[in-house]
Amino acid sequence: MASSSPTSLPDPELHPGRPPVLQVEIDDEAPQWAARHRDALRAVVAEHGALLVRGLGLREPAVIGEVFRGLAAELMAEREAFAPRKDHGGGVYSATQWPTNQPMCMHHELSYRVEFPALMLFACPTAPATGGATAVADGPTVLDALPAELTERFEREGWLLTRSYNDEIGASVAEAFGTEDRAAVEAYCRAHAIEFAWQPDGGLRTRQRRSAVVRHPVSGRRCWFNQIAFLNEWTLAPEVREYLVDVYGPEGLPFNTRYGNGDPIGEDAVQLLNKIYEQETVREPWHSGDLLLVDNIRTAHSREPYDGPREVLVGLADPVHLADCSPTVEVTAR
């Protein structure tokens, strides 16, 4: 292993089935160490798509925020969240609130927005007793493994996200848009190419068509980049899906995905997507104090079910616009 200098890093450990893991010993505060090694850390992420850093001892949200800001060019405020998060301030959020016994399947964060983070930052103050890994999968590899006829259709049509906001399941209108003011919500939707319709009960339904395949703005590689499988009804546990359909109806699900022309995506296609994701998944259990950096455009991530307390904080870093990623379908704000 190479020796470390003020601006160099040891080589990360590379093992099949695991993301690159960098074990470090630091002799100063974590924020100063991270800022000093920012370029070297990001170079490893550019090469491998993700990097787990172990040994920083990250525990406090304020310190984690300093680390995030030292590594990122900019931290984004989250909009269009599909489930609530706790806002720790300064661009630092809790992990998405999701049932502990249910997986969060592979996805690229906010890939249904017209502007999304190029880099995801995760820190784990408290690791769970079992499970709960934030696993990753390489988007270009997933794209190559999918059947050509499926990817060609998604490239041609894009994918459609439908949402029905309510105060019971998922993020509310206020949590997703940062406001309850109808005029402000409508202005946001028009500016971000989202169709919207207010329902008689006061709820909001939206539709947004996006590109399923993009080119990485730095490497130029074609990447499978979306949340088609994760936010689809067929990824839900059967009993959860049956309950939601019974309560809200098939057209009123809190979220669902379709082909870009509006056709339903069959259960077989969704199961195939998740099967290929699983084949390409690499994982490393969290240790308390860990830091994980993920190239959000190249690399999908998931959250596995877990037992025991789990605390993971998140930074959405370095916003990039869909138009800068060679989308295969036109997305135009109104």
Instruction: Enumerate the domain spans of the chain.
Output: 21-98+115-134+284-320, 141-275
Residue 116 has pLDDT above 60, yes or no: yes
DSSP string, 16-85: TTS--EEE---SS-HHHHHHHTHHHHHHHHHHHSEEEEESS----HHHHHHHHHHH-S-BPPP-S-SS--
Residue 1 has pLDDT above 60, yes or no: no
Q: Which residues contact 67 (CB under 8 A, 6 or more apart)?
A: 30, 31, 34, 56, 58, 121, 123, 291
Q: Which of 99, 76, 100, 97 is nearest to 86 (CA)?
A: 97
> Average pLDDT, stretch 209-228?
98
3-state SS assignment for residue 89: strand
21-98+115-134+284-320 is classed CATH 3.60.130.10 = yes
Residue 2 has pLDDT above 60, yes or no: no
Residue 14 has pLDDT above 90, yes or no: yes
Q: Which residues contact 279 (CB under 8 A, 6 or more apart)?
A: 145
Percent of the chain predicted with pLDDT > 90: 90
Min mean pLDDT across 2-16, 58-72, 198-212, 272-286 is at 2-16
Q: What is the pLDDT of residue 7?
A: 58
**What torsion, rounded to 10 degrees, do the Cα atoms 40, 42, 48, 50 define?**
120
Q: Please give the Cα distance from 125 to 86 (Å, whole number).
A: 15
Q: Dump pLDDT digits (tens) for 96-107.
A: 999 999 999 999
Q: Dump pLDDT digits (tens) for 127-184.
A: 999 999 999 999 999 999 999 999 999 999 999 999 999 877 889 999 999 999 999 9
> Average pLDDT, stretch 215-232?
98
Residue 85 has pLDDT above 70, yes or no: yes
Q: How confident is the model at residue 212 (pLDDT cuts 50, 70, 90)?
A: very high
3-state SS assignment for residue 148: helix
Residue 125 has pLDDT above 90, yes or no: yes
* Element (DSSP H or E) covering residue 160: strand 159-165
Say yes or no: do domains 21-98+115-134+284-320 and 141-275 share a fold.
yes
Q: Dump pLDDT digits (tens) for 258-289.
A: 999 999 999 999 999 999 999 999 999 999 99
Q: What is the pLDDT of residue 334?
A: 61
Q: What is the DSSP letter of 7?
A: S
Residue 4 has pLDDT above 70, yes or no: no
Q: Which two tokens stand for residue 266?
A: 């069959």
> Average pLDDT, stretch 193-203?
94
Q: What is the pLDDT of residue 3?
A: 35
> What value, to the nearest 5°, has the Cα angle with vertex 220 and ends 209 and 273?
50
Percent of the chain predicted with pLDDT > 70: 98
* Element (DSSP H or E) covering residue 316: strand 311-321
Q: Dump pLDDT digits (tens) for 54-84.
A: 999 999 999 999 999 999 999 999 999 988 8
Q: Share the mean pLDDT of the chain.
A: 95
Question: At residue 259, what is the residue type?
Answer: Y
CATH superfamily of 141-275: Clavaminate synthase-like (3.60.130.10)
| Beta-carbon count within 10 A of 234 CB | 19
Q: What is the pLDDT of residue 30?
A: 97
Q: How confident is the model at residue 292 (pLDDT cuts 50, 70, 90)?
A: very high
Q: What is the pLDDT of residue 104?
A: 94
